[in-house]
Amino acid sequence: MIANDIAVPRHVAIIMDGNGRWAKRRGLPRTYGHREGAETLKRITRHCKKIGVEYLTVYAFSTENRNRPQDEITAITNLLRKYINSFDSDPERDNIRVRFIGDIDRLAPEIVRDFRSITERTRHNADAITIVIAFNYGGRDEIVRAARKAAELAAEGKLRPSDLDERSFSRLLDTEGLPEPDLLIRAGAETRLSNFLIWQSAYSELWFTDVLWPDFDEEEIDRAVRWYRGRQRKFGRVSPEGNQ
């Protein structure tokens, strides 16, 4: 457990990988792995709030995941809808603020309605951890959509190309108003970002673990945070000791 007086990353991002492999190793359908993964997300969200994390962004469904079998896509979507709707009966719901990133408007109307409803219902929760759910999300797709917005604004005379810089471009991304991730964690034994927050994670500390997401627990988060605390974040500058 992380002590209360120890600094923790303000924003943690997680690639929740390994649900299907977890199920396969147990001779179960992949959908069972996603169900266990949803329960893990509940526990990790509560623990992150407990140790002082303010923002938790999770990769729930990528643009590439649309190529998976339809029954698996349906199962993932239904689990997420069940997860977010459970906040209405969860005694800890007032401690959670929900936000979505990704090309949400391309989803079915009933899904869009659920997503917007929970976002609005939790918008004003006090002392909340913000959980950002990346759904139908891809980092390259996000950047292309932001570039399209910039082009449209320029065509309308609302943006001069010479005024476009990193800060103004960031405001066109799905993550507008959010701090960049301090710590990005990938479960599931893979060591790549898989098109997740590729603009925002430019200076994130990256933690890769072999633990499959359904087995990911509070101890693993604490281990990652302790490792993060030992990192020296220079953002391209020279360290105080004068070493690069």
- Host domain of residue 199: 11-140+179-229
The yes-or-no answer on residue 95 being catalytic is: no
Greatest Cα-to-Cα distance within the chain, rounded to the nearest angstrom? 59
User: pTM for this structure?
Assistant: 0.89
Give pLDDT tens digits for 97-134: 999 999 998 888 988 988 998 899 888 887 889 999 99
> What CATH number is attached to the domain comprising 26?
3.40.1180.10
Beta strands in the chain (DSSP E): 11-15, 55-62, 96-101, 129-137, 183-186, 205-208
What the block records as the tokens of 149 is 């917005």
Query: Would residue 203 count as lying in a domain?
Result: yes
pLDDT grade, residue 71 (50/70/90)?
Answer: confident
How many domains is the chain built from? 1
The yes-or-no answer on residue 17 being catalytic is: yes
Quote the Cα angle for 11-14-20, to 5°: 165
Yes or no: say if 95 and 125 are a contact pair by the CB < 8 Å rule: yes
What the block records as the tokens of 63 is 């643009």
- Candidate list 17, 114, 174, 182, residue with the active-site label: 17
Query: Would residue 159 count as lying in a domain?
Result: no
- Candidate list 19, 65, 125, 243, residue with the active-site label: 65
pLDDT grade, residue 222 (50/70/90)?
Answer: very high
Give the Cβ contact number of residue 24 at 10 Å: 13
Predicted pLDDT of residue 81: 80
Alpha carbons within 13 angstroms on the beta-carbon side of residue 105 total 3
Q: Is the pLDDT of residue 1 over 80?
A: no
Considering the chain, what percentage of its residues have pLDDT values greater than 90?
66
